Amino acid sequence: MAGYHTFGVKVQSKYLAIVQDKQQLFAILQSQEYQECLQEGMGWLVLGQGSNVLFKTDFKGFTIINRMPGIRILKETSTQALVEVGAGVIWDELVNWTLANKLGGIENLIRIPGTVGAAPVQNIGAYGMEVKNAIHEVIMTEIPSGNTHVFSNAECAFGYRTSIFKTSLQGKCVITAVRFLLEKNAAPLITYEPVQVELRRKNITHPTIQDTASAIATIRSEKLPDPAVLGNAGSFFKNPIVNETLIKELIRVHPDIKYHSAENGFKIYAGWLLEKAGWRGSKKGAVGCYEKQSLVLVNFGGATGQEIDDFASEIECSIKSRFGITLEREVRCIPFDNKKE
Ligand SMILES: Cc1cc2nc3c(=O)[nH]c(=O)nc-3n(C[C@H](O)[C@H](O)[C@H](O)COP(=O)(O)OP(=O)(O)OC[C@H]3O[C@@H](n4cnc5c(N)ncnc54)[C@H](O)[C@@H]3O)c2cc1C
């Protein structure tokens, strides 16, 4: 699987195929190899760039790599553009295309690794922006029937790092294209303090969406490890959301706790929890927490998927015993563990 996932652990998939259109996908569904994987109970898996997965062991099923291309404007008005993008397009290429075409709505999501087809799966987000706000529709092929469905934004059931594609439809569909509704005169979203600081450092007082994206690209390159150099899958855990009783108790014990109110409770910065529990820069064998961002677990070279999974479990136990909080994994572990998904 080298080259098809970013953690850099050495694993194999029993079968692997790259699909560039729906016909190739249908051919897989009819293949003997795919049927064999189903009969053996190992199933199938669709991947984009593998930047949000951890292979704990070899995958004895069928891996489908989505490389469906294409960016095209379907409809335009004086204020908006409806753009359809193939699921296999590299996410950052799309962001750069929107910037070159002066279309706003996904610029703060610059430099997030991965493909367009995976973006709705966990409703990618960064620097105050979530992809759900720019998604108009998601087009997917249901597996095994091969039927095509178009999901409206509401039907995608987007939430914080989740959607219907990560819950009830996980393992039941392949996203083939995403339609985005983008704004022609978008105002930049600069609510995050680090973005404001970076813009000030560049002496930009009236930023455009291009300025904002470029500031965020700079911050990200300083803060996050490059998977080509250090294997990782970005933030390993989600920021936990707790109720009022627990947040009040946590504030009493830890007045410096980093949190903010969210739709359904209070969102605590998981990075703060890890740092407070002493995980920042920690290392065990070839696995560790990235020194500039504890939430990112890294493979310093030669770590196995099981070692990374064990390290993550240790963190989960320590956060549970210290704060009474159960961390939820953002990264999907393979072979699938229903308890953790
Ligand atoms: C350095 C780094 C920084 C990151 N920063 C961020 C960040 O700021 N914000 C953020 O939200 N994420 C971040 N991530 C996580 C990751 O980049 C995103 O989740 C990205 O969308 C994953 O894309 P992918 O193509 O690599 O998906 P994969 O890892 O290949 O797949 C992820 C999941 O989506 C499913 N999937 C993939 N393609 C399809 C498809 N076509 N149809 C149906 N299901 C599909 C897979 O089965 C899997 O369950 C970061 C990762 C790294 C390595």
- Which of 161, 179, 329, 332 is the catalytic position? 161
SS3 272: helix
pLDDT tens digit string along 149-171?
Answer: 999 999 999 999 999 999 999 99
Distance (angstroms) between ligand 1 centre and the Cα of 163 equals: 13
Residue 1 has pLDDT above 90, yes or no: yes
3-class secondary structure, 140: strand
Mean pLDDT over 49-55 rounds to 98
Q: Where are the domains of the chain?
A: 13-66, 71-183, 231-334
145 included as an active-site residue:
no
Q: Please tell me whether residue 38 adopts helix, strand or coil conformation.
A: helix
161 is catalytic: yes
Please write the tens of the pLDDT for every residue from 304-335.
999 999 999 999 999 999 999 999 999 999 98
Query: Does 236 have pLDDT greater than 50?
Result: yes
Beta strands in the chain (DSSP E): 13-19, 44-47, 53-55, 59-66, 71-76, 80-86, 125-126, 129-130, 135-142, 148-152, 173-183, 231-235, 241-242, 259-262, 265-268, 283-284, 287-290, 293-299, 332-334
Q: Is the CB of 86 under 6 A from ligand 1?
A: no
Query: Known catalytic residue: 220?
Result: no
The CATH number of 13-66, from 3.10.400.10, 3.30.479.30, 3.30.43.10, 3.30.750.24, is 3.30.43.10
Span from the CA of 78 to the centroid of ligand 1 (angstroms)? 33
Q: For residue 104, report the distance from its CA to the centre of ligand 1, in Å.
A: 21
Q: Which atom of ligand 1 is nearest to the CA of 232?
A: 53
Q: Is 259 in the pocket of ligand 1 (CB under 6 A)?
A: no
Q: What are phi and psi of 38, to 5 degrees?
A: -65, -45
Please tell me if the CB atom of residue 46 comes closer than 6 angstroms to any atom of ligand 1: yes
Entry pTM: 0.96
The DSSP line for 290-330 is ETTEEEEEEE-SS--HHHHHHHHHHHHHHHHHHHS----BS
Nearest-angstrom CA–CA distance, 93 and 84: 14
CATH (one of 3.40.50.300, 3.90.78.10, 3.40.50.150, 3.40.640.10) for 231-334: 3.90.78.10
Q: Which residues pair with 129 in a beta bridge?
A: 126
Report pLDDT for 263. Answer: 82
Q: Are 232 and 297 in contact (CB under 8 A)?
A: yes
Assigned CATH topology for domain 71-183: 3.30.465
pLDDT digits (tens, 9 = 90+) for 162-198: 999 999 999 999 999 999 999 999 999 999 999 999 9
